[in-house]
Amino acid sequence: MKHAPTVLPLLLAMVLPCTMAAAGNTPGTGATASANTESAPAIGIADRFLVLLDAGDHAGAHALFDDSLGKSLSSVQLGDVWNALPRQFGALRSRGAARLTAQNGQNLVFYRHQFANAALDALVAVDARGRISGFRILPAAAQTPPTPLPVADSAFSERMLQIGDDATGLPATLTLPAGDGPFPAVVLVHGSGPHDRDESIGPNKPFSDLAHGLARDGIAVLRYEKRTKARPQDFAGGHFTLREETVDDAVAALALLRRTPGIDAARVFVLGHSLGGYAAPMIARQAGNVRGLVLLAANARDLHDIVPEQVEYLAELDDAVTEPELQAIAAMRAQRDEIEAMRGGGPAPAKPMLGLPETYWRGLLAYDPVAEAKALKLPMLLVQGERDYQVTVAGDLARWQKGLSGRADVRIRRYPALNHLLMPGQGRGNPQEYLKPAQVDAAVIADIAAWIKAH
């Protein structure tokens, strides 16, 4: 049986687009008590919550939420999300035993869910009063992210750093070429979703490939855990924009890199992938002192236009669009139209696309990455795989080309066999290929390195 299209690979790993309120302290409710050290009460509450969801009692499950989560996510929305999982990922085959950890005054209870086409973790956060303060669906690999060990290589060295202060900082890895420097350097900025520093998806780690490949060619690289991955509690208030999600941390990473010994502070670049490339002009303007931009598979179009297009593409991939798929496409188009209406003063969407708040969408509506890039007058390298169905040659690269036409300091590189991860494949692009082990194409890394060294 064919299921409604999953938007799992949306702009690279927006794992469950309808991501809900994150676990963590909720602003405005006062300080929470210390984490409950006895697992039974928290696990019992989380178990009851999942049983109610499975039984279709979404109102009963919703009644277990604290006030803040209950206001941000209705029982109808909760039911829509839960019911969408088997349509997106296939039938549920098993649910693992509860696994408990404590963080920021919360008990976090994880349950591994094995669907026919994916393994996901349901995270239920239970506060000291026994209320559910957060609920998220995560990729299974995100359950206990290990701290990556430095790679041993005679051509470079790696050491751990932190972006920001001890209270809210993000773990990072600096990859330095062998030698004394000073070296040109680049900050890697993630695409959509809660990414680790390697931008891992399935067995693939494109940011690790880039860091090691560029360092072997004499370029230092700083990569870090994305805030939505490392500190989801920072978004528990539900009101944030692209700046809080991506831009501010990239600016802080650039500042750290410029003051790091061995780095040529006058030759620090931004390399953004997918939504990170879309945000790169904003990052450069806010940061200042950026030498240039590398835009990898960077979308130029509005996100709310791209999402329905991706859902439709995936539905049509097997040349047979089912009724559930048609309903999913129609729902995405309706959400797109609601967001677009805000541009003309319309109200906030009743059910925001991807579960992202009104503030996020209004911020994107006010931002034009191509116009921003054009105003910067910085050298740029645009890299595009021609098999990329998420950020496309016709839809996105053409807009960059048109907006930046006549600029002698803008270079474009196209690769016929590469997908959204800049990894090789055959035939029409599809999400399954992201789950096959591969590496960022060596030609891409060589071209980026040559361009950076020329500037």
CA–CA gap between residue 247 and residue 447 (Å, rounded): 26
Write down the pLDDT at residue 103.
67
Write down the pLDDT at residue 147.
60
303-316 and 358-365 helices cross at what angle (nearest 10)? 100
CA–CA gap between residue 235 and residue 295 (Å, rounded): 27
320 belongs to a structural domain? no
| Average pLDDT of the segment spanning 234-256 | 92
Give the lowest-confidence range in 97-106, 203-212, 254-263, 285-294. Answer: 97-106
Give the lowest-confidence range in 189-193, 219-223, 246-250, 443-447. Answer: 189-193
251 belongs to a structural domain? yes
Q: What is the CATH number of the domain that holds 112?
A: 3.10.450.50
Q: Are residues 183 and 258 in the same domain?
A: yes
Give the lowest-confidence range in 101-115, 171-185, 213-227. Answer: 101-115
Dihedral sign computed on CA atoms, order 132, 171, 221, 175: negative
| Average pLDDT of the segment spanning 157-170 | 92
Distance of CA 187 to the CA centre of its chain: 16
Q: Are residues 290 and 414 in the same domain?
A: yes
279 belongs to a structural domain? yes
Q: Which listed residue (249, 302, 388, 441) is catalytic? A: 388
**Percent of residues, the chain, with pLDDT higher than 70:** 87
Write down the pLDDT at residue 434.
86
Write down the pLDDT at residue 161.
95
Q: Are residues 399 and 432 in the same domain?
A: yes
Q: Which listed residue (208, 274, 396, 441) is catalytic? A: 274
> Is residue 189 scored above 90 in pLDDT?
yes
Write down the pLDDT at residue 43.
87
Residues whose CB is less than 8 angstroms from the CB of residue 368 and which lie 6 or more positions away in sequence, other chains included: none
Domain that holds residue 50: 39-142
Write down the pLDDT at residue 31.
25
Q: Are residues 211 and 261 in the same domain?
A: yes
> Is residue 10 scored above 90 in pLDDT?
no
Tokens of 218: 């004499």
Q: Are residues 214 and 247 in the same domain?
A: yes
Residues whose CB is less than 8 angstroms from the CB of residue 5 and which lie 6 or more positions away in sequence, other chains included: 88, 311, 312, 314, 315, 325, 328, 329
Write down the pLDDT at residue 328.
80
> Is residue 167 scored above 70 in pLDDT?
yes
| Average pLDDT of the segment spanning 136-143 | 64
Give the lowest-confidence range in 138-142, 180-184, 298-302. Answer: 138-142
Q: Are residues 57 and 136 in the same domain?
A: yes
Q: Which residue has the higher pLDDT, 337 or 100?
A: 337
Q: pLDDT tens, 362-403? A: 999 999 999 999 999 999 999 999 999 999 999 999 999 999
Write down the pLDDT at residue 117.
72
Domain count, the chain: 2
**Could you identify the residue written with the tokens 């750093």?**
161
> Is residue 99 scored above 90 in pLDDT?
no
For 16, 130, 206, the CA distances from 65, given in Å and listed in that order, are 20, 9, 37
Q: Which listed residue (208, 396, 420, 441) is catalytic? A: 420
416 belongs to a structural domain? yes
Write down the pLDDT at residue 411.
97
**Percent of residues, the chain, with pLDDT higher than 90:** 51
In the annotation, is 274 catalytic? yes
Q: pLDDT tens, 48-82? A: 899 899 888 899 999 999 888 888 778 888 888 88
Q: Are residues 138 and 228 in the same domain?
A: no
Q: pLDDT tens, 346-355? A: 998 887 787 7
Look at the pTM and tell me if it is higher than 0.85: no
- Burial (CB < 10 A; 0-12, 13-18, 19+), residue 412, is middle
Which of 117, 142, 167 represents a domain boundary (last residue)?
142
| Average pLDDT of the segment spanning 186-195 | 92
Q: Which residue has the higher pLDDT, 446 or 45?
A: 446
Q: Are residues 275 and 205 in the same domain?
A: yes
In the annotation, is 388 catalytic? yes
Q: pLDDT tens, 315-363? A: 888 888 888 788 888 888 999 999 999 998 899 888 778 778 899 999 9
